[in-house]
Each structure stands twice: as structure tokens, then as C-alpha cells.
Copies of this chain bind each other. A is one copy, B any other.
């Protein structure tokens, strides 16, 4: 199952906005602007101009500016959780599952949803505390996918370090790629980068 298909299912269930709808287009532009300039430096007038409407008209789609940020984050997590789950299900061994997770996360950070993922990392504090709690719950589901695989590898004896610590070091390492990894400029392919990451983890030979 590819990402397009998964997206289609989520749109049908109303869990993610149709990218072609007015709301979907706004969220995509919002992710772009939030990433480029940061949430606070992006005005509602910027957002409106990006989709060609007046700033006041935004508030027919969202009650507040923060709601836009939250929607970007929530929908991105939903999509990526589904993609991760599919990646895991398609793999057989735990080692393959781990590689699939690393590869999928790199794709989500550096591919289509990259802007939204960067927003998720860097604009966290711009959410109200109430929203933070809500988004955190969704992230926990996502993190559980990782921890299950890492814990299984630990039990197999393939992973020596603590799964929690490894996941957190990995979160940082992978998120950070958004600041420097530019596959389109040649150099490392995404697959090669995945290899480097897996190599860095130093799994003991099976």
C-alpha cells in the first residue's frame, strides 16, 4: 500500500483534509509558511494571500490562527502514523521493520510532508498547553510503533542499548536531517542515508 492510497483512505474517513479542497490547500500553504518563517512571523494576512483570499475569510474555515497550526500537526501525525503502520506490516523480521521505520520517517521528513513535519518539530511551543496535550496523545500512538519494534530487537539480543534512549537519539538524528539533507542536490540518496543510520545503530549480527 503506497502513501497515496493511505491518504485516500484517511480522507474518506475525514481524518485528513482532501489536499484539493480549500481547507487542504490552506493547510499545505500554512505548513510551507510556518516552516519558512515560523508560526509567529507568519500573519493571517500572509496565510490568506497564499490561497488568494482576504484575511478575514480565513476565520470561516478556522476559528483561530492556532487552530490552523494544530490542524497541520494533527493531520500530519495521522497520515504518518498510518504510513508507518503500513511500513511495519509489510516487513517480516524485526530488523526489516526497523529499516522500514527509519526509511519511512526519513521520507516523511524529507518528502511531501516534510514541511509539516518540520513544523511539528520546531513550532511545538506555539501551541497552547491544551492543544499540546492533545497532539501529544497522537504522538504517543506513533511512538509506540517504534518502541514495539525496538523492544523486540532488544529481546532478540540484536539491540544492546535501551530502546527508549535509542528512539530518542534517533528522533533527534532523523528530525535534524530536515536542516541539512538535500537529496535533490546530489550526494546521498535517501536509501544510502537509511543505510548510514542503520549502520550507526550498530545492531549485532544475527
**A125 interface contact, C-beta 8 A:** yes
Residue of B nearest to A35 (CB): B125
Q: How far is the CA of A196 from the CA of B170 in the complex (A)?
A: 12
* Residue on B nearest A37 in the bound complex, by CB: B125
- Of the stretches A16-24, A57-65, A174-182, the one at the interface is A174-182
Copies of this chain held together in the complex = 2
Q: Which residues of B contact A162 (CB under 8 A)?
A: 196
Give the contact stretch, choosing among A75-83, A86-94, A146-154, A198-206. A198-206
Which of B126, B179, B201 contacts A202, CB < 8 Å?
Answer: B201
Within 8 A of B (CB), among A158-206: 160-162, 165-166, 168-177, 179-181, 188, 193, 196-197, 199-202
Name the distance in Å between A203's Cβ and chain B's nearest Cβ: 9
* Identity of the chain B residue whose Cβ is nearest the Cβ of A167 in the assembled complex: B180
Q: Which of A37, A166, A177, A180 has the most CB of B within 10 A?
A: A180
Residue of B nearest to A123 (CB): B38
Cα-based distance from A38 to B179 in the complex (angstroms): 19
* Shortest Cβ distance from residue A140 to the other chain B in the assembled complex, whole angstroms: 13
Residue A41 is within 8 A (CB to CB) of chain B in the complex? yes
Pick the contact of A172 from B41, B175, B196 — CB < 8 Å? B175
Distance of A171 Cα from B125 Cα, bound (Å): 21
Q: Most chain-B Cβ atoms within 10 A of its Cβ — which of A38, A40, A175?
A: A38
Q: Which of A161, A165, A168, A188 has the most CB of B within 10 A?
A: A165
Beta-carbon contact of A196 and B38 below 8 Å: no
Cβ-defined partner of A199 (8 Å) among B38, B40, B202? B202
Query: Can you list 5 A-B pairs with a CB-CB distance of less than 8 A?
Result: A168-B181, A172-B174, A176-B176, A200-B201, A202-B202
